[in-house]
Chain A
Amino acid sequence: MLKVFLDTNVFIVSLEDLQSNSNLVVRAAISNRFLPVVSQQVLEEIKGYVARNYSSDVANKYLYQVKNIPLLNTVPTEKIVPAMDSFAGLVTDKDDLPHVTACILEDCNVFVTIDRKLTQMKAKQKIRFASPKQFVELLGMRSINTSQDE
């Protein structure tokens, strides 16, 4: 089964747009179609975004659902920190480093993100990036034709 790192933007666009490939990706994760991996930072970013745009109550509900994805593996910060320096050269934006590090540490097959800038960093030498649409197709599902990069 594919081991897949899911970026924060996948969870947020899934919530914001029911007719998105990101929504298909999250549903596929809930249905055990692959082994989803996130970093602790991803969960904190989801909470921050949803609390800011909706409410703390909605943020907690959503986080509860994400944490309850059956096969979800959350990489703790304590595991990421000691390895971060080794991969510092792979990113342009240092704030992306914990996520890239978590993906490499967990030996993920794919990193799914909508952030095109991230996919063009040196990290692409070590990580296979995919947009939600590309990943949906990789799973053998029919993707949604969106007007955006998603």
Chain B
Amino acid sequence: MATEALVHVRLNVRDQAFLDEMVEKGNSSSKSDVLRTALRLYQYSELCGQLRQANPKPRPLKTILAELKQIRQTNYKRVFGAGKC
């Protein structure tokens, strides 16, 4: 119970709303499901928050998409070979 209280206290408003809706809509089979989800949301926020502290300004979308395209092309060649398709 103490862990649950801690998780709830430290979740942001948006994540709390996700959990509330999960309970309302019956998308979870038990209280422990809700607790696990709360922990996952908290851990996700923690990781994103740490990265933003290191780099406060998000990278421009165009830059991200261009880099992802490059990674996609490289991976495709590595896994499927250049001649496929």
The residues of A with any CB-CB pair to B shorter than 8 Å are: 8-9, 12-18, 20, 23-24, 26-28, 30-33, 41, 44-45, 48-49, 52-54, 58, 61-62, 65, 68-70, 77, 81, 84-85, 88, 94-98, 114-115, 148-150
Contact = CB atoms under 8 A, between A and B. Distances in A.
A84 B44 contact: no
B79 interface: yes
Contacts of A31: 18-19, 21-22, 27, 37, 41
Contacts of B15: 27
Contacts of B48: 14-15, 18, 23
A20 B47 CA distance: 16
A84 B51 contact: no
Contacts of B10: none
Interface of B: 14-15, 18-19, 21-22, 27-28, 36-37, 40-41, 43-45, 47-49, 51-52, 54, 58-59, 61, 64-65, 67-69, 71-76, 79-80, 84-85
Nearest to B22: A31
Nearest to A77: B79
Given A33-B27, A53-B59, A58-B47, 9 more contacts: A18-B52, A30-B40, A33-B21, A45-B75, A48-B71, A48-B75, A84-B80, A96-B72, A114-B65
